[in-house]
Every structure is written in C-alpha cells, then in structure tokens.
Structure 1
Amino acid sequence: MSTIAETRKTAAAAAVVLPVLLAVSAVHLLNDSMQAVVPAMFTILEESLHLSYTQVGWMLFALNMTSSVMQPVVGSYTDKRSSPYMMPVGMFLSLIGMVGIAYAGNFWHLVFAVVFIGLGSAIFHPEGSRIVYLAAGGRRGFAQSVYQVGGNAGSSLAPLMTVYIFAPLGQVGAVWGTLFAAAAIVILLVLAPWYKRRLADWEELRAQRRSAAKPGASLLEEANHPRVKFAMGMLIFLVFARSWYHASISGFYQFYLKAHYGLTTQEAQIPLFLFLAAGVFGTFFGGVMADRFGMKNMIVFSICGASPLALLLPHLPLVWVYPVITLLGFIILSGFSVTVVYAQYLMPAKVGMASGLTTGLAFGMGAIGAVALGKAADLFGLADVMRFCSGLPLFGLLAMLLPTDRPKA
C-alpha cells in the first residue's frame, strides 16, 4: 500500500496542474498590476505634488528595494516553514498601500504607501514561485512562463491605467487598485487547501530522497559548490543590468518621449504599452523555447539579441519607435522567466531562495539604478541618461560564461 501511495505521489509530481498554474498566474497579474500603479502615477504625481526626477527615482527605489530585498529573506524562511496563508496577508498589505497612494498629501506619505505595496509583493513572489514549482511537473520552463506572463501582463497595464483611470481621475484614482488586492485574496484563499496538501506530499518525498541519498551528496552541498556560486553570481549580475535598463524604460522613457518628441502624457503611454505588452508574449515564448533549446541559450538570446535595438532606440524618428520598441520588449523579456528556472536548476534544494535572488535581490539592485538614473537626469539631462542606458544590454555578452544546462551527448 505504501508503494502504491508513493507511486501516486510521484506521478502527481510529474504532471502539470494547469488550473493551479492559471490561478497563481492570475494572482501574479493582480499583484504586479498594483505595483504598476506606482510608475503609472508618475506623470500625474509629478504635476500634482511637483516631484523632481530624483524623487521619482526614490519612489521606484522604495518600491523595488522593499519588494526585492525582502524576497530572499521571505524565500529563505519559507524554505524551512512555508504557510499557504502568508500570501493573502501580503495582498492585504498591498491593499493598504493602494489606499495610501490615493490619499497621500506629500512625497513622504507616498513613499510610506509604496513600501506597503512592496512588502505585499515580497511576500507573494517566493511563495508564488514555489506553487509553480510544485505544479510544473516536468515542464518547468512552460510553467514558469505561464506564471510570469501573468506578472508581465499586470505590469503592461500601467500605460492603460494612466490613460483611462489616472489622467481623468487624478491621484485618487489609485483607490481602484484595492479591487486588484481583494480579487487576489479571494483566489489565494481558494488555492490554499491544494497548496497545503501538495506541500505536505513534496516534503515527504524530499525526506525519502534525503534518507536514500549517499552521504556527502546532498543538494544543499551541491548548492555550495564554487561553480554553482559563480553561476548564481553571474546570473544575478545579468538580471541587475537588465533591471537597470527596464527601470529606464518603465520609469523615465515616458518623460523622454514628452521632451524629445513633444508627445502628450496619454500619447507617451503607447510606446511604453507596446514594450510591456510585447514582453508578455516574449515571456511565454522564452519559457516554452527554453524547454526545447536550453535555459542558458535563451538567456543569451534575450539579453544579447536586444542590444542592437536598445542602442538604436534613442536615435530613431518617432515613426520607427513603435515597431522597434515592440520587438525590443519581446526579445529582452523572453529570458525573464528562464532566469528563475535556471536559478532553481542551480539550487533545487532552495527553491524559495533561488526565486528570491533572481526576482528579488537583483531587482533591488536595479532599484538603486532608478535613483541613480533620476539624479543623473536632473544633473545631466534626460537625453544623455537614455543614451547611456541603451548600452546596458551589452553586459548580456557575459551570459556566455554560464554553465550549460543541456545534457552532454
């Protein structure tokens, strides 16, 4: 009987649980939509509260540092003691942040509200990645891409929210973000019983594998291997460079479009939306292709392939901006989900920590870039900053140094 039960658990672990993947992807969409409210409000808040570019950078810093640096901490904790009910608590914190942004009276009130949104996101992401890991079966790239498509789709809503909500309603329009938080809490409460059962099965299988493993061959010791440490360090650096570039587009490119091409606030949202929406399709494409061609190959393609387009973007006539920024978003975000799966491949015994490092700490390092870019824009001009950022994807050439994940022939 015990053998039959173990066989069933192993079979369950090998099957893709698509309804669960779709549910957690939907929550990812709602969570990142709340995060997207912050950059979507920049042009509105700049006018209503008279913010400088440096203050805009500090808001991005507060959001990304809180949501990012806390992710490895949460991931490390939940690797040892995971709880299905942590995520609804995180969504409630984000709900408080939405209300805070809507009624903030000065810059510091805004920062305080943004911190609550960041904390909610920091709690959700490591646990969300763990659910995907448990529901993925043998198709890790596909599963992670489904999950990340939800997040990127949520981020891509920022320009649309600016046009249809924040431009007409102003700052108080942020209160509509509370609907995202409420919907996410309901979905997570429905998902919690499945997660609790699957987590118990997974822990039991891990315990059996540890007891059957040879001494000195534990996954934890493999994670401390110098080659694994080098690969993780390189991976975090690459995500760091990509995060700087992404911050320049999502946070400051709309100002560049207004200043350089004379677009209105609403018109400046169109190229930004094209970049983010194309990234949704690129994220799914990259995850599926990684299962076939390898994770390292997709990471190299996503960052290196975007370099020529990034270098061209600040110098193009307006008519060429639209197709180029669409293709750029597709290519550069095709490696977004793959980096998480690659980190989990390197650290299979520390799934939460691996997810937190790639989607958390590295983005926190990128948040420092947001402050630096804002300060540089105030000092040297936005045009020079955008030209500087166009060279950041060139660091993707270092991805060739990553160890291969493909089996040897």
Structure 2
Amino acid sequence: MSTVTKTGTTKPVYAILVAISVAHLLNDLLQAVIPAIYPKLEAKYHLTFAQVGMITLCYQLAASIFQPIVGAYTDKNPKPYSQIFGMFFTMSGIAMLAYAPNYTIILLSVVLVGIGSSIFHPESSRVAFMASNGKRSFAQSVFQIGGNTGTALAPLLIAWIVLPNGQLYILWFVSFAVLAQIVLAYIAKWYQAKLKIASRTTKKIIQVPDLSVFRINSAITILLVLIFSKYFYVSSITSYFQFYTMDKFGLNEVQAQVYLFYFLIAVAVGTLLGGIFGDRFGRKYVIWFSVLGAAPFTLALPYVGLQLTGILIVIIGLIISSAFPAILVYAQELLPKKLGMVSGLFYGFAFGMGGVGSAVLGVLADAYSIDYVYYICSYLPLIGIIAYFLPNMKKINYKNIE
C-alpha cells in the first residue's frame, strides 16, 4: 500500500444534495413538532418539567439507540428505499400525537417518530457523502442545513396552525411526511443506480488516514465529548427556552416560539457556514471555534434583558451549530470504511445526549428554577478546549487500500 495525499475530485451532484436536504428538512420538521408543542402539552396535561424532559428522552433514545445498528447493517447491505420505510414510522407517530388522549400515548407516539429518525439519518448521510465528490463538509452542511431549517420552521408552523386551534391540528403535518416520501423515492432511484455502477467495479480503492488505532480511537472519543457538550446545551434551548422566556420576560406562547425560531434559523445558517469553512480552512479549526467560541455568549445569556437575549441567542446559534458537519465528516475520514456506522453513531449519540440532557435539565428546573438551567449550561462550551488535541487531517498522509 502506497502513501498518498488527498486530491480534489469532480463537482458535487447538486440535484441529489438539494433533494436530500429537502428530505432532511421535512424529516426534522416533523421531529421538531415534538418540542414545539411542549407548552400546549404542558398546559393541557399539567406536566412537570421532568415529564416534559421524559418526552424528549423517550424520543431521543429511540432515535439514538437504533442509528448505529442501522448504519452498521447498511454498510454491508445498502438499502436505498429504507428511508421511505422509516418515514412511515414518523408519519404514524405524528398522527398518534395528534390524537393522544394521555401522557402514555404521547410517549409512545414520540418513540415512533424516533424510530423513523433512526432509519432516516444513516443512509441519508451516506447519500450526502456519495454526492459530495470530495466536497464533504460542504455536502454534509447542505444536508444538515435542510434539517436545521425544518427544525426552525416547526415552532412557527405550530404557532400558526396548532396553538390557536388545538392538538388535533398536528394531523396537518402528515402532509409533510407524504411529500417527503416523494422526494425520498427520487433519491432512492439515484442511490440504487449508483450501487449498480459500484457493483460492476472489480476493485474499490479507499483512502484511509495513516494514523495508529490509538490516535483514531482517541480522536473519535474527543469528538464524542464535543458532541456531548454541544447537544447538552442545545437541548436546553430546544426543550426549555420557550418556558425560560415566558417565565423571565412574561412572553406568551406565540412570542416565545418566535424567540426559539431566532435560535433555530441561526443554527441553519451557522451549519452552512461551518461546512464551507471546514473544507477551506480545516475541520479541526472549525470544530474548535464552534464549541469553545460560543462560551463567552452562553456565559452572558442568563444575565441580560429581553433584547440582548434575542441577539445573544442568534450569535450562539450561529457559532455552536457550525461544528456538526465538520465533526461528522472528520469522523467519516477517520473511518472511511464504516460510513453508515459512523453516521449512525454520531447522529445517535447527538440525539441521545439531547434526550439525556433534556431529562436531567427538566429535573433541575423542577428542583430549582428554569433560570438555574441556563446558569449551569452556560459553562458547557468551555469543554471545547479539548479540540486542540485532534490531529489536523489536512497535514497527515493517506494510504490506499482495496
């Protein structure tokens, strides 16, 4: 095996990148219905913050546990139409949530949505990787910005459709699942054609980094710790920021949804910027800046008024969101023979940390106050300093293997 350096390739397959981004938008929009509807559920069923956190934990665990398993299986047995199958679970969960008569059925409905997500993400991330043609951070950020945009739109659509009319109107979101099925069918057809072409190739050359097993495992561990820091903090915003602004500043439900939208749309923009800068300047530096760079603003957030809260939450969203495409592509480059497993592991771990974070923070909010949650979480981005120990992938050699 000879040692080589990485080289550029052809342009990305933009039609597929746009399609998988749209599919991700629709998938994550449906997922984001769950936290966006929390104020309505909390008022209707008289839930505690711990119970709200348990809803997120059930959804996120269902989404996280299966993702590495799905990814590892599809590494060996690619399933182009599996995302359509997963969307049926999501659709069923959304429909059940619209009719849920009690807390137990709410938990069951979000578990179905989580299972759908666990099937969707590993293969979709692989599609983005295949369509990137070398522009991996860019492709992953285009894929991710779709999901983040869908997450950002959910609070506005909930405020417009559901909050004025009632829980049953969640049923309207099933139409987004139907649209997603159409888009996913188009992607699956392209994906299947790519697999047929690949099957006719007698030898497949893969470039792997010339690093020891210890250094690869250490880098993966660091990346997972950074995911913990990022998603524990993000869960404090997505699950409880509406309650925080309502409690601290006296906003109503619709106004609180708008402030959550500010954060989520900033996350979408930051994700795209992170992908572009990751390809240009190196993923290590983007990761380091994204997690650690948010710290001054998260530390200031609990002490400012409403206007500065709106400004800071946008800045935090822009900075902290730029890490995930770089983290995921960095991990894929460390383990290029296990793309599905790596994607499933990192998406699953991210969702799992979001769920655990939401549950833990809900208990803290009940025991102390919702303000206390943000005092504690403000220190999490400081963990980003450990990104210093990641190897610079732009400066290492690669080996060709079959």
Give the TM-score category using the shorter length. Answer: over 0.9
In structure 2, distance between residues paired with 1:132 and 1:53: 37
Q: Which of 223, 232, 249 is residue 235 of structure 1 equivalent to? A: 223
Corresponding position of 1:143: 139
Letter in 2 for 1:247: S
- Sort the Cα spacing of 1:115 and 1:223 in 2 relative to 1 into closer, same or farther, 3 A: farther
Aligned residues: 391
**What is the alpha-carbon root mean square deviation over aligned residues?**
2.0
Query: What is the match of residue 64 of structure 2?
Result: 68
Show CA shifts across 1:278-330 (max 9, x none): 11111001101111100010000111110100111111011111111111111
SS in 2 for 1:37: helix
Find the partner of 1:333 among 317, 321, 329. 321
Aligned residue number for residue 185 of structure 2: 189
Contact 2:209/2:334 (<8 A) preserved: no
More helix, by proportion: 1
Using the size of structure 1 for normalisation, the TM-score is 0.92
Residue 348 to residue 293, structure 1, CA distance change in 2 (3 Å): same
Cα distance between partner residues in 2 of 1:282 and 1:329: 7
Say whether 1:51 aligns with 2:51. Answer: no
**Residues 223 and 154 (structure 1), Cα distance of their counterparts in 2 relative to 1, 3 Å cut:** farther
Alpha-carbon separation, structure 2, partners of 1:206 and 1:301: 42
Report the Cα distance in structure 2 between the residues aligned to 1:364 and 1:38, rounded to whole angstroms: 15
The question of whether the paired residues in 2 share the 8 Å contact of 1:142 and 1:287 is answered with yes
Q: CA deviation at 1:407?
A: 2.1
2:60, 2:352 within 8 Å by CA — same for their partners in 1? yes
Equivalent residue in structure 2 for 1:111, among 87, 107, 111: 107
Which amino acid is 1:140 matched to?
R
Partner amino acid, structure 1, of 2:364: A
* 1:72–1:355 CA contact under 8 A, matched in 2: yes
Q: Which range is displaced more, 60-69 or 96-105?
A: 60-69
Q: Which amino acid aligns with 2:145?
A: V
Q: Distance in 1 between matches of 2:378 and 2:202?
A: 45
Matched residues, percent identical?
A: 41
**Aligned partners of 1:335, 1:347: CA distance in 2, in Å?**
18
> 1:27 touches 1:184 (CA, 8 Å); kept in 2?
yes
The question of whether the paired residues in 2 share the 8 Å contact of 1:239 and 1:363 is answered with: no
Task: Give the equivalent residue in structure 2 for 1:122.
Answer: 118
Unaligned runs of 5+ in 1: 1-12, 211-218
Note the residue ranges of structure 2 that are not aligned, 5 or more in a row. 1-8, 398-402
- TM superposition shift of 1:159: 2.0
Alignment-derived partner of residue 213 in structure 1:
none
Q: 2:348 aligns with which of 346, 360, 369?
A: 360
What is the DSSP-based 3-state SS (H/G/I as helix, E as strand, rest coil) of the residue aligned with 1:168? coil
CA distance in 1, matches of 2:123, 2:329: 14
- Report how far residue 401 of structure 1 moved: 1.3
Give the TM-score taking structure 2 as reference length: 0.93
Aligned mates of 1:138, 1:221 — CA distance in 2? 15
Partner of 2:243 in structure 1? 255
For residues 174-323 of structure 1, what are the structure 2 equivalents within 5 Å? Answer: 174-202=170-198, 205=201, 207-209=203-205, 225-323=213-311
Distance 1:315 1:298, change over 3 A: same
The letter for the 2-side match of 1:196 is: Q
Tell whether the 8 Å contact from 1:39 to 1:158 is kept in structure 2 after alignment: no
CA contact (8 A) 2:209 2:396 kept: no
